[in-house]
Structure 1
Amino acid sequence: MYNVLLFCDPGIDDSLAIMYALLNPKVNVVGIVSSYGNVPQQQAIQNVAYLLQLAGREDIPIIAGARSPLSGEIAIFYPEIHGEEGLGPIRPPDTVQREVVNFDEIFKIINNYAHNIFIVDVGRSTSLAIAFLLGGEEQLRKVRAIYSMGGAFLVPGNVTSLAEANFHGDAIAANLILDKGRNVYITPLNVTNYAIIKPENIVQITSQPFNSFSHLIKPIFDYYNDAYKKLDPSLSGSPLHDVFTIFALVNPQQIRYVNREASVSINFDNTKGVSMADFRPRSTEETTEATDFIAISFNYQAFVEDFIQVMTSKR
């Protein structure tokens, strides 16, 4: 069982990742830090509260994360991909009410599960960077590993020609995590672009009411899939970047990594958010505490089969 503290900004992909984590028998979600990113922070919190209510998991604390990047820039949102409320055509009911706990709950959770907890960060890295700044390395050393969805190594970006959305959205925070974090596993566009779920997979999942999320999965996926078709008509489905990151945590045997010390450009020019590492043949000879693990390939069939199995779970 993987005890997971999830940092996210739902968003359709994040929402599917939350469903996947809650339904996965290998995952114990111990807290969700909800921040700005795909949608404003308050909407992201509302979306998390709605999903937890559907799952009957009001026991999982929601922690209010960051509202904007460390740089002080104005956050950019993506309603054309995620919808105005972040769940495509679905609007969470106004009746959803949940207590949101203070940021220091992060450290209480880490201490409760010391050395047996994983952080999965599938949004902008601002909140996790703040946790580093407030808690210091002493607190974060109690985390076994950090799984970060972000970056694009040796492939094009998705918000600029060079940079991926999460690292570009707060480059300072992303670079801090890669610099200060230990046992950081990065799932960049190199792999997540190929974590494609097809419409026929969704039909298979939603052909009958398997669980409390079944009625949501198809409408939000269809919205997301239509957006991706406009971006790249050649795609046969939609990449689930954030779902893949949790899949990578709980299925390590299905992922191939290279060990490199990675960083993110914090320059405010056309290189902002660019993920960098030394990929020369001899660059792996020396491994240090600062070495990161960059995913470069995976077993696609295993990913699809696992997603279908988990999403049809009655858990």
Structure 2
Amino acid sequence: MTRLPVFADVDTGVDDAMALAYLLGSADAQVVGIASTAGNVPVDQVCANNLGLLALCNTSDIPVSRGAERPLATPLRTAEDTHGPEGLGYARLPDATASLTQYDAATAWVRAAREHPGELIGLVTGPMTNLALAMRLEPSLPRLLRRLVIMGGAFDYRGNTTPVAEWNISVDPESGSEVFAVWSAAWGLDEPTHLPMILGLNLTERVVMTPAILSRLAASAGSATTPMSVLDDRGSRSAASNPLIRVLEDAMRFYFEFHFDQGEGYVAHLHDPLAAAVALDPELVRYRQATIDVELTGTLTRGMTVADWRGHWGRYPNAHIGSEVDADAFFDRFIARVGPFAATLD
């Protein structure tokens, strides 16, 4: 099987960890580098989470690079209320068995793209700070990538951070605007297949993890566990016999509790794992092509992703916006990949 080189830029985070588990469990993926982005938690905690997760998964040979400490133009905001004080809910990771690269995350983007010209798949599941900085270093970066998949934004849909803004974009709106502008300049109508694929809340909130699906994952790994319930004591720890399933269950429990407290039920949206799956197989999702930009100055709308569906701006389309997904098919694929991979770690 041909393995696709993937460079993942993450702000790990519960669902980022699930996305990395998906990539590591995919026989058709070769993770060639991980960029740590400040977002869900500060950048040093993101680095620790990435290194610890790789140690857990016996994949510490994958380079991990430290990214910028703050967004391009504003102070950093983090989301420990959503992801827990260390970003992974109640989970505890082993100590790292590798060190960070001596070069930063923006340089890591450029190095990976140059090492795999025309083949590298870029995946961003956090703020786009590192990617924007990488494009400043190498303006031709869009032309070096095979494709780019971004989890971010909300299109004709409510926000989850403000009434109109999604978290990743809201943390660093300037970087999102800059990335979309660079991509517009790099590609025109003659190359529509190379436009980035943007998965917003309008799509990712349809991918709803439940305790029942998490139990299916444990069963696929051959792991004994106790199914979760909304009636469990807060902070109950996983009884899973498998180390990766135990970490994912402890992380997801915090995520379930957060969504429950938000009035959404004892469930969780798997934004980032869907993006990881699409990075390897874009046909999992249907798209609409449009020109998009990020509002930077609106008093009520800063961070809003605006799609020009009808060409009012007179600019080339710069994105394929995810519009439809079969959530059941995604979860079948997630379980089929992550479960057997977890079983190898017993």
TM-score (norm. length: structure 2): 0.84
Structure 2 counterpart of 1:102, one-letter code: Y
User: Hey, what does 2:135 align to over in structure 1?
Assistant: 132
Query: How far does the alpha carbon of each residue in 1:24-76 deviate from its partner, in whole angstroms, 9 at most, with x for none?
Result: 122211100002100000000000000111111111100111110101x2211
Structure 1 counterpart of 2:122, one-letter code: I
Give 1:1-315 correspondences, 5 Å limit: 1-71=3-73, 73-93=74-94, 97-103=98-104, 104-136=107-139, 138-181=140-183, 182=187, 183-207=195-219, 208-209=222-223, 212-233=243-264, 235=265, 237-267=267-297, 269-280=299-310, 283=311, 288=316, 290-314=317-341
Q: Report the count of equivalent residues.
A: 308
Distance 1:255 1:172, change over 3 A: same
Contact residue 262 and residue 291 of structure 1 kept, 8 A: yes
Query: CA-atom RMSD, angstroms?
Result: 2.0
Shift in Å, 1:205: 1.3
Shift in Å, 1:190: 0.7
Mark the runs of 5 or more structure 2 residues left unpaired by the alignment. 188-194, 224-240
**Aligned-partner Cα distance in 2 for 1:156–1:178:** 21
Shift in Å, 1:112: 1.1
Distance 1:106 1:254, change over 3 A: closer
**Aligned-partner Cα distance in 1 for 2:322–2:6:** 19
Structure 2 counterpart of 1:200, one-letter code: A
**Farther-moved stretch of structure 1 (101-110 vs 120-129):** 101-110
Shift in Å, 1:212: 4.9
Contact residue 203 and residue 218 of structure 1 kept, 8 A: no
Structure 2 counterpart of 1:299, one-letter code: D
SS at match of 1:312: helix
**Aligned-partner Cα distance in 1 for 2:242–2:132:** 35
**Aligned-partner Cα distance in 2 for 1:94–1:194:** 35
SS at match of 2:287: strand
SS at match of 2:296: coil
Runs of 4+ in structure 1 over 6 Å off: none
**Aligned-partner Cα distance in 2 for 1:192–1:132:** 26
Structure 2 counterpart of 1:158, one-letter code: N
Query: How far does the alpha carbon of each residue in 1:284-304 deviate from its partner, in whole angstroms, 9 at most, with x for none?
Result: 9x994x431000111121111
**Aligned-partner Cα distance in 1 for 2:259–2:6:** 29
Contact residue 52 and residue 96 of structure 2 kept, 8 A: no
Query: How far does the alpha carbon of each residue in 1:143-192 deviate from its partner, in whole angstroms, 9 at most, with x for none?
Result: 11111111111110000001001111100100111111252110000100
**Aligned-partner Cα distance in 2 for 1:225–1:54:** 23
SS at match of 1:144: strand
SS at match of 1:213: helix
**Aligned-partner Cα distance in 1 for 2:213–2:203:** 19
Contact residue 206 and residue 217 of structure 1 kept, 8 A: no
Query: How far does the alpha carbon of each residue in 1:87-128 deviate from its partner, in whole angstroms, 9 at most, with x for none?
Result: 111233456552333122332221111100011000011010
